[in-house]
Amino acid sequence: MQDFLKLASERYSVRKYSDKEIEDEKLDKILKAGQIGPTANNSQPQRIFVIKSRDALEKIRFLTPYAFNAPVVLMICYDENVSGNARDGHDYGADDATIATAQMMLEAWDLGIGSVWVRGYDKRELEKLFDLPDNLVSVALLPIGYPSDKSKPSPLHSRNIGIDEMVTYL
Ligand SMILES: Cc1cc2nc3c(=O)[nH]c(=O)nc-3n(C[C@H](O)[C@H](O)[C@H](O)COP(=O)(O)O)c2cc1C
């Protein structure tokens, strides 16, 4: 079993992908990781679209340069008819979908598959492009694929704030 902190610290955002296809069993494992995370009240509002066909990949690459040349792009959404609300009205949907995305990112890395979290697109355009119904809210794109030989971590990858800056003990 891999050491979790080693896995989490070695993962970096991959923005150059090889031509190698992702095996179906590995894609299934990545999607499984998105299924089993915690969600508020176990409402499981996360909905994941696998952008894999040539037509769908062309559409997403037209919308954003941040799909890169990944062979598969996951579009992570939540269903606001299903997600729960906190007492103050906060909708948990984005929290739940975010956890699913993080789990998929780390499972992919464990399988030798790279990814990059993407939110640098116009949400309204994305939702229109794929005709999402009003109750589906997009949260992130996750291009995934085997890293190219030329892939390397960006300088931002190793720029971490100090634990003292991040943590306050009360
Ligand atoms: C919410 C969020 C949005 C992001 N959006 C983009 C994006 O649109 N394009 C991109 O290339 N990277 C994007 N990233 C990746 C970050 O730039 C990257 O995670 C950060 O620089 C740290 O690098 P590392 O992932 O290699 O450790 C995003 C990351 C997060 C968490």
Give the mean model confidence (pLDDT) for residues 19-35.
98
pLDDT for the residue numbered 49: 98
Q: What is the CATH number of domain 4-166?
A: 3.40.109.10
pLDDT for the residue numbered 9: 95
Q: How far is it, in rounded angstroms, from Cα 115 to Cα 74?
A: 10
Burial 7-37 (b: 16+ CB within 10 A, else e): eeeebbbbbebbeeebeeebbebbeebbeeb
Q: Which of 74, 99, 109, 117 to mutate to test the pocket of ligand 1 (most atoms within 8 A of CB)?
A: 117
Helices assigned H by DSSP within the chain: 4-10, 24-35, 54-63, 93-110, 123-129, 163-166
Q: How far is the CA of 29 from the centre of ligand 1 (A)?
A: 23
How would you class 1 by CB atoms within 10 Å of its CB: exposed for 0-12, middle for 13-18, buried for 19 or more? exposed
Give 1's pLDDT tier (boundaries 50, 70, 90).
low
Residues in a beta bridge with 97: none
Q: How far is it, in rounded angstroms, from Cα 94 to Cα 86?
A: 13
Residues in a beta bridge with 85: 91
Whether ligand 1 lies within 6 angstroms of the CB of 153 is answered as yes
Q: For ligand 1, atom 18, name the residue with the nearest CA.
A: 13
- pTM passes above 0.85: yes
Answer whether residue 162 shows pLDDT above 70. yes
Q: Which atom of ligand 1 is nearest to the CA of 153?
A: 26
Q: How far is the CA of 170 from the centre of ligand 1 (A)?
A: 30
Q: Mean pLDDT of all residues in the chain?
A: 97
Give the mean model confidence (pLDDT) for residues 96-117.
98
Q: Where along the chain do its domains lie?
A: 4-166
Whether ligand 1 lies within 6 angstroms of the CB of 155 is answered as no
Percent of the chain surpassing pLDDT 70? 99
Give the mean model confidence (pLDDT) for residues 107-133.
97
Q: For ligand 1, atom 30, name the residue with the nearest CA.
A: 117
Q: Which atom of ligand 1 is nearest to the CA of 12?
A: 26
Give the mean model confidence (pLDDT) for residues 93-107.
98
Q: How far is it, in rounded angstroms, from Cα 73 to Cα 50?
A: 6
pLDDT for the residue numbered 88: 95
Q: For ligand 1, atom 21, name the residue with the nearest CA.
A: 156
pLDDT for the residue numbered 2: 63
Taking only the tens place, the pLDDT of each residue in 42-97 is 999 999 999 999 999 999 999 999 999 999 999 999 999 999 999 999 999 999 99
